[in-house]
Structure 1
Amino acid sequence: MALDAKVADLLNTQINKELYSAYLYLTFADYYEDRGLKGFANWYMIQVQEETAHAKILRRYLLDNEHQVKMLAIAQPDKTFDNDLAPLEAALEHERYITASINECYQAAYDVHDFRTMQVLDWFVKEQGEEEANASDMVKNMELFGSDAKGLFQLDREYQTRVFNAPTMPM
């Protein structure tokens, strides 16, 4: 079965959103680097790798389904921050936006009974649940411990230990 044109276009647009996410999170990493919070910067550099991997998964899926991938322009992130909580809150808001976008792709696939695409998107739905939970936890941790120098130091140390694990999903 050929990939539905609307589904394919939404997935192609999702590639762009994933790459924008990487671009956005790179600016978050830069903010924290400038602040001397290398653990927070590390967290977002790992996010950059994850978002890029997500784009590659969708790219491969489109190519495997004989659909031409169109690389769209990536918008310039326009956020500036005046405190250490602000990037974390922006990340949570952005992850919720990405979840809504994945849900839109899923709904389009559902509408045309594209079960193969739905199966691929099942992985993204689960992944977004994890992304939102992590972003929410980071906000809560900063609210609880970030105003205390020792607490902020501990959080930064914890985030320094994060390593990239390439996503694996059933295809």
Structure 2
Amino acid sequence: MMNAAVRDAFNEQIKQELYSGYLYLSMSAHFDQENLPGFAHWMRLQAQEELGHGMRLFDYVLRRGAKVELHGIDAPQTDFGPPLSVVESVLEHERAVTGMIHRLFELSGQEGDWAAQQELQWFIAEQVEEEDSAATARDQVRMAGEDLSALLMLDQQFGSRVAEPEQA
């Protein structure tokens, strides 16, 4: 059984992961409206990943015999700037999520919840991948600069991304 502090922190992280999904769906809609379907596709897949992360935490709390308490999710931003600004926001957001996961891992250790720390190892590794993916996207969009042809090539590349199955 999870103690109350760890349970509450996991419930908060569920909310944060679901918020990330909302934020990335909002970014996907923005790119779609800007006629960048590849970027929209990439962000939609990012949203699906984040929603999956929330469900993984949800299921974990239940497996531990603890109560899942779903809290209200704030509405995400809906107005975004050019592609570089958006992918920079993605990287910034992923770095913030990494910090949240690290704090949850730290709390789990302080509370002696070794099982929670074991589960969070997966999220720590996942965040390395998420930050790397966002940094690569940012770097590529930055390199494209004002070159519309390069941006459209990136859009095509981002549109070819396929969803990866979640690892256990």
If the length of structure 2 is used for normalisation, what is the TM-score? 0.96
Distance 1:78 1:168 in 2: 30
Please tell me whether residue 157 in structure 1 is matched to residue 142 in structure 2. Answer: no
- Aligned-pair identity in percent equals 35
Please tell me whether residue 119 in structure 1 is matched to residue 118 in structure 2. Answer: yes
Please tell me whether residue 104 in structure 1 is matched to residue 103 in structure 2. Answer: yes
Q: Secondary structure at the match of 1:78?
A: coil
| Structure 2 unaligned blocks of 5 or more | none
The number of residues matched between the two structures is 168
Distance 2:10 2:166 in 1: 18
> How far 1:79 moved relative to its partner?
5.2
Q: Secondary structure at the match of 2:62?
A: helix
- Does 72-81 or 57-66 show the bigger shift? 72-81
CA RMSD of aligned residues (A): 1.1
Residue identity opposite 1:40 in structure 2: F
Offset from partner CA, 1:108-164 (integer Å, 9 cap, x none): 111122211111100000000111111111111111014212211111111111111
| Structure 1 unaligned blocks of 5 or more | none
Q: Secondary structure at the match of 2:76?
A: coil
| Structure 1 runs of 4+ with >4 Å offset | none
If the length of structure 1 is used for normalisation, what is the TM-score? 0.94
2:55 corresponds to which residue? Answer: 56
Work out whether residues 42 and 159 of structure 1, in 8 Å CA contact, stay in contact via their aligned partners in 2: yes
